[in-house]
Amino acid sequence: MRRASISLLSHLTRQKNKAPTPFLSRNYISDTAPSSSSLLHSSSNHLKHCTKTNGLILKPRQFQANPSPNIDALVEKNAQISSRQRKIKEKYELEEAFESAETAEEMLQAFKEMEASFDEKELGLASLKIGLKLDQEGEDPEKALSFATRALKVIDKDGEEGSNNVGDMKSVLHAVQLELANVKTAMGRREEALENLRKCLEIKEMMLEKDSKELGLANRKLAEAYVAVLNFKEALPFGLKALDIHRSGLGNNSVEVARDRRLLGVIYTGLEEHQKALEQNELSQKVLKNWGLSSDLLHAEIDASNMQIALGRYDEAINTLKGVVQQTEKDSETRALVFISMSKALCNQEKFADSKSSLEIACRILDKKESVSPVEVAEAYSEIAMQYETMNELETAISLLKRTLSLLEKLPQEQHSEGSVSARVGWLLLLTGKVTQAIPYLENAAERLKESFGSKHFGVGYIYNNLGAAYLELDRPQSAAQMFAVAKDIMDVALGPQHVDSIEACQNLSKAYGAMGSYAIATEFQQQLMPGKAMDQVHEMNS
């Protein structure tokens, strides 16, 4: 996708046998401008001066009647033209230096020199190209974001009015929005990236035919982005739209339709509509089989086994997995995933020894893959830890989650996962009585999730609720009250004041004020929940 964007920009910024065009000026899309002078500046004034000059030359009587002033005027005019041409040449050379730059450092140096000669409007496209280059190199996402944002401001301010090629302008705008989405994702700011991806889709809808494959892919990409932040409700309509477009344009037996159905299976699983999930998965498998896509098919079969487990069909899931494991390589990540799902089925049958054996096999495989596939291994470790939690092996779960964190901390784009795992470690440490150790994990989780999802995300509220419980356990009721108050504010906004978790946060806040001896305030919070019984509840909590 990024390569496509760069190719597009190259097309927009340099036409064959023509001087380089200015960056996002209104004139850059004109097919009639023959030179850099007509591109970098409005040519109308220049042409008018030339016409007047020619008029003077063609009227000799006027020239002879008063020769000195006209000679002076011509000299002055020629001096103006010479100055203008010199500036045009300077701009041309600056653009040439920018266009020929190969590294981000060279591009940044050329851009710095251009800033003195070009206005902000002309620098818009150059800003985008630097953003793309920095994103490719991946070393400074913050700087990449700043240049992409700068480009977007230019486009938003300039708009499409007066453009001779609206399609090109929309293509550039799409490239900017996509770059912003990519950079924000790389920084772990996935919730913000979703806004840019939605705008990408809106632009595609204006540019493409309703049944085009590319529009279907754009819908699926947005659905996948929502799945990545576990927002399955928002993902569903885009997944369904992708399926409709691909079925209409490519037919029921196309690979894209199969992939749409597999994604819908994941979405329905997230919505706990497991039967619908399994139906989509089975339809996907039929097409994948016909196309001989063995890798996709194996993963679809693993997905199916997890759906069967969710439906309580454990023996069926185990049989599915026994068939899949025969098709996997001995030390492959896919084989590890099979044993994780096998463990889940065995755990639900209360065959804990067999379940643990499966997890041990998976861990041995994954241990060799940490440096090669850190994201996939981290996800697998997190799933294994959940199995150990289910079997009440909390110390083992904590150990695995800490190992997961050591992988995720090196990956800025996985900041949201780091926050979630850190929150789980903190919660498990609370459960095992290690309250002091739990607090830094919970604090780190709150910061990571706020950066990824915003300060009012319900997940952040749960973390602050756990922080309040930790401080209350340490006999620090004032700190606890502060944490519970933040949790309540978030829960009320994210879930509504009548949600069970919002009510629990309010109860906890009342309890913290009661522990401080502030019974009047504690009573006020209890009255919000149980009018008439508030004082009795406060006395009971502190008796």
Assess contact for 359 and 388: CB atoms under 8 A: yes
Assess contact for 405 and 425: CB atoms under 8 A: yes
Q: What is the pTM of this model?
A: 0.69
Strand partners, 23: 123
Distance CA 531, CA 413 (A): 47
Model pLDDT, residue 146: 81
Confidence band for 184, pLDDT divided at 50, 70 and 90:
confident
- Least confident piece of the model among 1-10, 434-443, 455-464, 496-505: 1-10
pLDDT of 39 over the 50 cut: no
Model pLDDT, residue 158: 63
Confidence band for 220, pLDDT divided at 50, 70 and 90:
very high
Mean pLDDT of 209-229: 93
* Residue of 48 and 301 predicted with greater confidence: 301
Confidence band for 151, pLDDT divided at 50, 70 and 90:
confident
Q: Which two tokens stand for residue 177?
A: 């929005």
Say whether 20 sits in a helix, a strand or coil. Answer: coil
Distance CA 119, CA 127 (A): 12
Q: Which two tokens stand for residue 344?
A: 């889940």
- Least confident piece of the model among 5-19, 199-213, 359-373, 509-523: 5-19
Say whether 23 sits in a helix, a strand or coil. Answer: strand
Model pLDDT, residue 469: 94
Model pLDDT, residue 452: 85
Residues 6+ apart with CB under 8 A from 265: 277, 278, 280, 281, 284, 300, 303, 304, 307
Distance separating the N- and C-terminal Cα atoms of the chain:
64
Say whether 123 sits in a helix, a strand or coil. Answer: strand
pLDDT of 519 over the 50 cut: yes
pLDDT of 140 over the 60 cut: yes
Mean pLDDT of 429-457: 93
Distances (CA, A) of 193 to 196, 221, 269, 430, 457: 5, 12, 24, 33, 16
pLDDT of 376 over the 70 cut: yes
Distance CA 427, CA 388 (A): 15
Mean pLDDT of 149-173: 66
pLDDT of 7 over the 80 cut: no
Element (H, E) at 177: helix 166-186
Q: How many CB atoms lie within 10 A of CB 350?
A: 8
Confidence band for 61, pLDDT divided at 50, 70 and 90:
very low
- Least confident piece of the model among 38-52, 160-174, 212-226, 260-274: 38-52
- The DSSP output letter for 414 is G
Residues 6+ apart with CB under 8 A from 198: 222
Mean pLDDT of 311-340: 95
pLDDT of 444 over the 50 cut: yes
Model pLDDT, residue 203: 87
pLDDT of 312 over the 50 cut: yes
Distance CA 149, CA 143 (A): 10
Mean pLDDT of 318-324: 95
pLDDT of 117 over the 60 cut: yes
